[in-house]
Amino acid sequence: MRIDILTLFPEMFESPLNYSILKRAQEQGLVAIAVTNIRDFAADRYRKVDDKPYGGGPGMVMMPGPVFDCFEHVAKLAPPEGLCRGRPALEARAGCPRHGRVILLTPQGTPFNQSKARELAQEDRLILIAGRYEGFDERIRVGLNAEQISIGDYILNGGELAAMVIVDAVVRLLPGALGDEDSAKSDSFSVGANDDLPLLEYPHYTRPEVFRGLKVPDILLSGDHAKIAQWRREQSLERTRQWRPDLLERGDREKGG
Ligand code: 6GU
């Protein structure tokens, strides 16, 4: 997969993309992530990328010119050799646009969730465009035929952090990105083995057996794997009921209950 990020603040991406699983996924060639500065595509010598809104009002709006020019530059760059390997269905897809999906990060967007992450992880290529100021000139969304994603109902200063969240959630789903293939499966919000109900994770313990007077539950030391699995399942359900009852209701609805 190739991910392009278009932003006015490319430096913000330097450290988040270069640790742990994201770093390893890039080194392994599972994903190539390229960050491009929209300001490099400004037309004037002041490198202007924003302007006052027509009709008046506060704040500044991102101009369409630099974003379009930056997009057109980036869209021409082919995915690096080999990054589509192992995905014959996608490689063969007739008329597949070279640039893949175009996503504007904005609080007006569709809320991001695990199922959207799974969907995006199927793509060969993503182009994420992070906005600053009051927002994008509307012709950016329309002209680039972009979808819009938000990461939640609160306002960030720009789309950069949202782009990082999406990259993190998507890349860890690429086959081979996690050391242990199973560890993505039992994570909160993933689909369970036997049903489609999203549950919170059961509690985890590691050594020592007693820490400051707090003991690891006996059952986890029992060696009875069937009992342990059952206990974990109950814990997941109980925690979900207590902390995120909305997930259970949503699960019921999705099952038609
Ligand atoms: Cl994608 N952008 C901004 N500026 N704020 C947000 C967001 C995005 N998602 C939630 N809040």
Which residues in the chain come in under a pLDDT of 70? 80-98, 180-197, 251-257
The pLDDT value given to residue 51: 96
Question: Are 116 and 215 contained in the same domain?
Answer: no
Q: What is the pLDDT of residues 123-181, one digit of tens each?
A: 999 999 999 888 999 999 999 999 999 999 999 999 999 999 999 999 999 999 998 65
Instruction: Count the domains in the chain.
Output: 2
Take residue 50 and report the two structure tokens written for it. Answer: 């924003």
Domain that holds residue 66: 2-171
Residues 165 and 193 in one domain: no
Do 108 and 198 sit in the same domain of this protein?
Answer: no
Q: What pLDDT was estimated at residue 4?
A: 97
136-150 tens-digit pLDDT: 999 999 999 999 999
Cβ of 162 below 6 Å from ligand 1: yes
Q: Which of 171, 197, 228 is the last residue of a domain?
A: 171
Can you give the pLDDT at residue 61? 97
State whether 79 and 194 are in the same domain: no
Expressed in angstroms and rounded, the spacing between residue 177 Cα and the centre of ligand 1 is 26
Distance (Å, rounded) from C-alpha 63 to C-alpha 124?
28
| Whether 128 contacts 5, CB under 8 Å | yes
Indicate whether 39 belongs to any domain.
Answer: yes
> Is residue 200 located within the same domain as residue 162?
no
Residues 131 and 226 in one domain: no
SS3 130: strand
Q: What is the pLDDT of residue 256?
A: 47
**Residue 181 forms part of a structural domain:** no
Report how far ligand 1's centroid is from the alpha carbon of 253 (Å): 28
105 CA closest ligand 1 atom index: 1
User: Are residues 164 and 193 both part of a single domain?
Assistant: no
> Looking at the DSSP assignment, which residues form a beta bridge with residue 32?
2
